[in-house]
Structure 1
């Protein structure tokens, strides 16, 4: 038997309204659906199925599987198959075929093609995330166990004190990983962050002050550009401060002692941008596309030595996206990097409102 495709599958005028509605509904299904009669002649299809019945290139692989499975279904065999199309773009398709049987007689067959690409990608991300979390937690937990064993064995008091300090550092690192995971979870789960009118000077000043102790310890100068007192952002202050702090801390981790990290705030007609610029080692071009992925590190040894969790830049990206904005990076190896945190004017621009509120408060205070 060979599958034969009808040129047109118009709804017959003589069928009742209920069947017409059913056929119309099948055509609008997001999955690719094809129904044939017992002779293998197409009876109806969904609009999505056109892609496979009129296939070109990699889609022809799915079309061949569809036809083969429909023929088998017309013989009474049900089957399911998963196809990986390497594209581009890469896709994963689930194809299921069943005979249509009534009173023991095969009336035809139906095949459904479902795009499982996003679902499989989500599974991969989940597996990678669990593996990465396990790895990141295992390192400090293992170190804590070894240090505790060493202390319990007794020994020189000065050595014991050093080991106790290392335990404190490992515990702090473990707490930071957990805090970052919780922050990321909260940001991802919120459909819309709470937004208040916040002066940009407050956002930048708080971010710089949080990072200043680390900068002083590393011998790095933090410099921020002047910001108009009336310039405000409508945002979740805690989230945006956390994002800018993460950018500053990231810049310091990959900068040399005596260098400088600059925070520059600017506006356009539709954007507020906070840029963090460093004079550090820079980022290889091959890593730029992945720099905002969870647990991705350009230099794992250096990041771990400075207490990095590999989640900071991922948090920055999610905060920007939650506010309808974006984060971008420009970098040259050996020269430095510039991270741009941008919020569109709908989420950030409210200077006139802030001026009005400031004036009102000033009048009340006077």
Structure 2
């Protein structure tokens, strides 16, 4: 079945072909008419020469020279009139023209029919192939709806191959997008589960304290104790809520980490200042060591706000899990393509089996000292996420007494 567009194209082609063949036919008739007139003229000239008594040699010479002799032509016409051949000559001319018209017109008509038939067949075949291609494209799109994004095609020249190549690229993008959506669903599900688990303990403790305060007859000392526990659980909930908000914003892309060239010492100094008060309460010394000249004034590409937040999380843990009268040392070393920041404390240390786990969301370790301290287990997870978002990394190893956290920030 030929579509409307292909049918119009075939009609236009047929009309153009007919016009061209008519022009050829007209030119052929004109040429044949000229040839017959020349032939008649030569015959009259030959008759005129016979009338004058020319020899055979002179007649042949005149014919091959193709000289134009008006006088000989005139004598030849007069000779044909006297001999009674004028009407026969006209009839012969007309008969030959009719034969030429029939033969040439028939040949051109046959050529026209053959060309238009071939064009029709070609148009129909092209339309059929195009319909098949549309069906193939339609089947591929139907596959996309069912979640099958594989597009079988061969690398060839032509529009069809280019279209299939683009469909294949689209399929790959849709597959990546679907996987990302699925991962986001799993992440959200896991996050909701983790949040529920993290909120359950402090909410239960807070509820129990408030119920006891409301229902039981307690002494002032007991009331003070339960109020203190309630305040502690409230603070824990507040800290946990802030951490959960940061996690949610980080994982959904609401937190945008933007690197700018800024002095790294300013960022480290602000992180130290944010935990300085807590360190003073335990008389913990915080020392910054620059192992390379120029670091104090060096500006590197990083996000000052979030990098400060990441470093502060490590320092808060160092202060929390270190004893009184200890020291936290911050060392900075410049390398070829990165800046290395080491934070070493004199705290309880970390079991080597937990080196990779402590950067997971809500993981707090198994040491008894860790269980005694308040915490949500999201600080180091956020630290890792912040550093990786700007092309950096973090790791941990054992120190002389406590732990050494190693941060790498790219200089490129």
Report if TM-score (shorter chain) is over 0.5: yes
| 8 Å Cα contact 1:265/1:275 also seen in 2 | yes
For 1:338, the equivalent position in structure 2 comes to 404
Instruction: Give the whole-Å Cα distance in 1 for the aligned partners of 2:348 and 2:179.
Output: 37
Cα shift at 1:169: 1.7
User: Structure 1 residue 207: deviation in Å?
Assistant: 1.2
Give the aligned partner of residue 262 of structure 2: 198
Residue 100 of structure 2 aligns with which residue?
Answer: none
CA distance in 1, matches of 2:304, 2:191: 28
Tell me the TM-score normalized by structure 2.
Answer: 0.53
| Residue equivalent to 1:186 | 249
Structure 1's 23 and 276: CA in aligned 2 closer, same or farther, altered over 3 A? Answer: farther
> Of the candidates 375, 396, 410, which is equivalent to residue 308 of structure 1?
375
Deviation at 1:46, TM superposition (A): 6.7
Equivalence map 1:229-240=2 (5 Å): 229-240=296-307
What is the alpha-carbon distance in structure 1 between the residues aligned to residue 274 and residue 390 of structure 2?
Answer: 22
Asked whether the equivalents of residues 362 and 378 of structure 2 are also in contact (C-alpha less than 8 Å), the reply is: yes
Deviation per residue, 1:223-246 (Å, 9 max, x gap): 221474322244332211110010
Residue-by-residue CA offset, 1:176-219 (whole Å, 9 max, x unaligned):
11111112223331474244443222211221122122223344
Deviations 1:36-85 (A, max 9, x none): xxxxxxxxx479xxxxxxxxxxxxxxxxxxxxxxxxxxxxxxxxxxxxxx
Partner of 2:232: 169
- Mapped pair 1:329 → 2:393: no
Which secondary structure does the structure 2 equivalent of 1:291 belong to?
helix
Structure 2: distance between partners of 1:124 and 1:285 = 29
Q: 2-side partners of 1:266 and 1:32: how far apart? A: 49
Could you list the per-position Cα deviations for residues 92-112 of structure 1 after superposition, in whole angstroms to 9, with x for gaps in the alignment?
xxxxxxxxxxxxxxxxxxxxx
Q: Which has the higher helix share?
A: 2
3-state DSSP of counterpart to 1:229: helix
* TM-fit CA distance, 1:283: 2.5
The residue aligned with 2:49 is none
Structure 1 or 2: more strand by fraction: 1
Q: 1:120 to 1:165 in 2, by over 3 A?
A: same
**2:208 counterpart of 1:146:** yes
Task: Tell me the matched-pair count.
Answer: 257
User: Partners in 2 of 1:245 and 1:141 — Cα distance?
Assistant: 27
Identify which of 326, 330, 335 aligns with 1:259: 326
Q: 1:198 to 1:154 in 2, by over 3 A?
A: farther
Corresponding residue for 2:387?
Answer: 320
* Cα drift, residue 314 of structure 1: 0.8
Tell me what 2:335 maps to.
268
Q: Which runs of 5+ in 2 are unaligned?
A: 1-125, 155-174
RMSD between superposed Cα atoms in Å:
3.5
Q: Give the 3 Å change call, closer, same or farther, for CA 191–247 of structure 1 in structure 2.
A: closer
**Kindly tell me: are residues 211 and 20 of structure 1, through their superposed partners in 2, closer, same or farther at Cα, counting changes over 3 Å?**
same
Matched, 1:16 2:129: yes
Instruction: Check if 1:211 corresponds to 2:275.
Output: yes
2:219 matched to 1:156?
yes
Q: 1:127 pairs with 173, 181, 189, which one?
A: 189
Q: Is the 8 A contact 1:326 1:343 kept in 2?
A: yes
Q: Secondary structure at the match of 2:355?
A: helix
